[in-house]
């Protein structure tokens, strides 16, 4: 598979402190794949692969082989994404976090929501994970209070509140325990955007206005949709004809990702669809397992007051 991606045969590097003798100084910029002794892989990029190898050795003690191909600097990101997607598609176990769909190993989320709870929440759509206390942060609350007042004066406020309530209850684990740390809710971040729900490094739901009509943009896992509606999702559009496929991807969500846009008039039926809920839950849980939310400093506590389920 790697040879089809342009890699020569891998080199054995087990026990090596350096690989400086394997690559000429002017031929060290490119993409690489580390082969670990337990069968896992790591795909990456480097302007100087010999330096990057030494850095990896400080973290990984079980590097057995390395595959490397020269790539110009401007194409490193594109090649890295392609390699990771190909490895993941063929079922290879990856130690990468960025660009992958399925995170590996322990995560910070496991300390807040044990894996057994995660599994139950993912498989039982009736569970609303609303236990625990909420964050108290007067400075953060003050920061967005004026935006919230502007939100309350907006014409679509009730529609946005209703859809945010439904989305958070159905699609967010650790609603209270993970507020700010693992997910956040922005208020009026742009003139045409009412709110965004962010998880890890990306938005997962956006409520926005287009030509005076309120729309939702949702990112979710594609695999549950293909399982329910077919690889082309044709049955999804037959069931929900108002939905548009955008198929935009953010790199944190990995390959198993798609995005759909739906007008608010069709949103409640769309988000009540069991397959849609499953796709949202799987995607958000994966993102949370990759790491904390980068956008927590933009969380609007006043808006969250109106959105969170009551205990």
Residue 267 covered by a domain? yes
**pLDDT of the residue at 101:** 61
pLDDT (tens digit, 9 = 90+) per residue, 19-71?
999 999 999 999 999 999 999 999 999 999 999 999 999 889 999 999 999 99
Inside any domain, residue 118: yes
The tokens for 23 are 């690559």
Nearest to residue 81, comparing CAs of 181, 184, 5, 166? 5
For residues 301 and 218, membership in a common domain is answered with yes
Domain for residue 100, yes or no?
A: no
Same domain, 41 and 178: no
Q: Is the pTM of this model over 0.85?
A: no
Query: Tell me, what's the pLDDT at 81?
Result: 83
| Residues 222, 131 share a domain | yes
Among 23, 54, 89, give the residue marking a domain's end: 89
Residue 264 β-bridge partners? none
For residues 122 and 279, the answer to whether their CB atoms sit within 8 Å is: no
d(CA 311, CA 296): 23
| Rounded Cα gap, residues 302 and 140, in angstroms | 10
In terms of domains, do 202 and 260 share one? Answer: yes
Beta strand segments in the chain, E: 11-12, 30-36, 41-46, 63-70, 183-190, 193-199, 202-210, 213-220, 244-245, 258-263
Residues 76 and 114 in one domain: no
Give the mean pLDDT of 212-221: 95
Considering the domain architecture, whether residues 47 and 186 belong to the same structural domain is answered as no
Where does a domain end: 89, 118, 136?
89
Please indicate, yes or no, whether residues 79 and 218 belong to a single structural domain of this protein. Answer: no
Residue where one domain finishes, among candidates 37, 60, 89? 89
Q: Which residues pair with 187 in a beta bridge?
A: 195
Do residues 35 and 162 share a domain? no
What does the pLDDT look like over 66-110, one tens digit per residue? 999 999 999 998 898 889 888 887 878 888 766 566 566 678 999
- Please provide the average confidence, as pLDDT, over all residues in the chain: 92
Q: Tell me the residue range of the domain where 43 lies.
A: 3-89
Cα–Cα distance, 206 to 198 (Å, whole number)? 9
Reported as a single tens digit per residue, the pLDDT across 168-201 is 999 999 999 999 999 999 999 998 999 999 999 9
Does 96 map to a domain? no
3-state secondary structure of 267: helix
pLDDT digits (tens, 9 = 90+) for 104-113: 667 899 999 9
Is 104 part of any domain? no
Could you tell me which residue, 304 or 212, shows the higher pLDDT? 304
| pLDDT tens string 119-172 | 999 999 999 999 999 999 999 999 999 999 999 999 999 999 999 999 999 999
Q: Within 10 Å of residue 70's Cβ, how many Cβ atoms?
A: 15
Q: Alpha-carbon distance 308 to 170, whole Å? A: 11
Same domain, yes or no: 244 and 294: yes
Domain membership flag for residue 177: yes
What pLDDT, on the 0 to 100 scale, is given for residue 95? 81
pLDDT in tens, 243-271: 999 878 888 888 889 999 999 999 999 99
Q: How far is CA 46 from CA 49, 139, 184, 227, in A?
A: 5, 41, 33, 37
Inter-residue contact 67 to 10 (CB < 8 Å):
yes
Q: Is 185 part of a structural domain of the chain?
A: yes
Assess if residue 95 is contained within a domain. no
pLDDT of residue 99: 59
Tokens found for residue 234: 């044709």
For the chain, the domain total comes to 2
Beta-bridge partners for 81 = none
Residues 296 and 211 placed together within one structural domain of the fold:
yes
Same domain, 134 and 264: yes
Say what the pLDDT of residue 102 is.
Answer: 59
143 shares a domain with 15:
no
Express each pLDDT in 2-20 by its tens digit: 999 999 999 999 999 999 9
- Torsion sign, CA atoms 6, 12, 14, 19: negative
The per-residue DSSP string of 97-155 comes to -TT-SS--S--HHHHHS-HHHHHHHHH-TT-----SPPP--HHHHHHTHHHHHHHHTST
**Per-residue pLDDT at 92:** 85
């Amino acid at each position: 598979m790697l040879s089809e991606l342009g890699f020569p045969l891998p080199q054995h590097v087990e026990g090596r402190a350096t690989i400086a003798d394997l690559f000429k100084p002017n031929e060290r910029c490119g993409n690489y794949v580390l082969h670990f002794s337990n069968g896992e892989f790591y795909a990456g990029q480097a302007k100087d692969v010999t330096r990057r190898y030494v850095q990896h050795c400080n973290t990984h003690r079980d590097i057995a082989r390395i595959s490397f191909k020269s790539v110009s600097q401007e194409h490193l990101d594109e090649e890295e994404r392609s390699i990771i997607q190909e490895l993941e598609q063929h079922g290879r176990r990856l130690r990468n976090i960025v660009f992958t769909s399925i995170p590996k190993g322990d995560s910070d989320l496991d300390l807040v929501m044990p894996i057994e709870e995660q599994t139950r929440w993912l498989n039982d759509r009736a569970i609303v994970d609303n236990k625990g206390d909420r964050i108290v942060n007067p400075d953060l609350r003050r920061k967005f209070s004026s935006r919230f007042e502007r939100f309350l004066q907006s014409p679509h406020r009730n529609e946005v509140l209703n859809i945010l309530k439904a989305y958070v209850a159905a699609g967010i684990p650790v609603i209270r325990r993970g507020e700010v740390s693992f997910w956040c809710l922005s208020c009026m971040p742009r003139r045409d955007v009412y709110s965004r729900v962010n998880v890890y490094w990306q938005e997962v739901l956006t409520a926005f206005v287009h030509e005076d009509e309120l729309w939702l943009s949702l990112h979710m896992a594609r695999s549950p949709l293909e399982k329910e509606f077919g690889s082309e999702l044709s049955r999804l559009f037959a069931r929900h004809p108002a939905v548009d496929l955008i198929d935009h991807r953010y790199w944190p969500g990995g390959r198993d990702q798609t995005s759909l846009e739906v007008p608010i008039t069709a949103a409640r039926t769309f988000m009540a669809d069991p397959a849609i809920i499953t796709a949202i839950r799987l995607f958000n849980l994966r993102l949370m397992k990759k790491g904390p939310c980068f956008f927590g400093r933009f969380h609007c506590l006043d808006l969250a007051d109106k959105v969170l389920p009551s205990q």
